[in-house]
């Protein structure tokens, strides 16, 4: 089950971001300033880019910033799955 969660954590936000960009390219390019930031967000911080894109439409209130912070934590958690999933193996490894 951990592998399925990891796969969905990696694929789902990128698919949603791609679908949102395909529906309204002008909005996403204007929001982030260039396609470079959109591409970097797509590769490295997809949850953050997606949530920021949805939240910035209404203005960035305190609640919207909280959503963006949780999205950053979700991105960091997605990348941390590999380490924390195998931490028992890492802690019992004894190098010679």
pLDDT at position 92 over 90? no
Q: Is 84 helix (H, G, I), strand (E, B) or coil?
A: helix
Answer whether residue 95 is part of any domain. Answer: no
Residue 36 lies in a domain: yes
pLDDT band at 54; cut points 50, 70, 90: very high
Residue 94 domain flag: no
Tell me the mean pLDDT in the region 13-32: 92
Indicate whether 96 pLDDT > 60. Answer: no
Q: Cβ(40)–Cβ(24) under 8 Å?
A: no
Query: In 3-state terms, what secondary structure has residue 59?
Result: coil
3-state secondary structure 36-48: HHHHHHHHHCHHH
Total domains in the chain come to: 1
Residue 93: inside a domain: no
3-state secondary structure of 61: coil
- Domain annotation covers residue 96: no
Domain that holds residue 68: 2-87
Per-residue model confidence (pLDDT) at position 65: 95
Q: Which tens digit of pLDDT belongs to each residue from 58-89? A: 889 999 999 999 999 988 887 776 566 666 65
Q: Give all strands (DSSP E) within 1-96, no chain letters.
A: none
């Amino acid at each position: 089950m951990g592998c399925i969660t990891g796969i969905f954590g990696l694929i789902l936000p990128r698919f949603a971001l791609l679908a949102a960009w395909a529906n309204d390219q002008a909005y996403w390019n204007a929001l982030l300033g260039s396609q470079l930031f959109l591409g970097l967000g797509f590769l490295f911080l997809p949850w953050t880019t997606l949530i920021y894109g949805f939240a910035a439409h209404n203005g960035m209130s305190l609640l919207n910033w909280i959503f963006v912070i949780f999205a950053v934590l979700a991105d960091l958690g997605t990348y941390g799955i590999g380490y924390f999933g195998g931490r028992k193996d890492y802690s019992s490894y004894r190098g010679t």
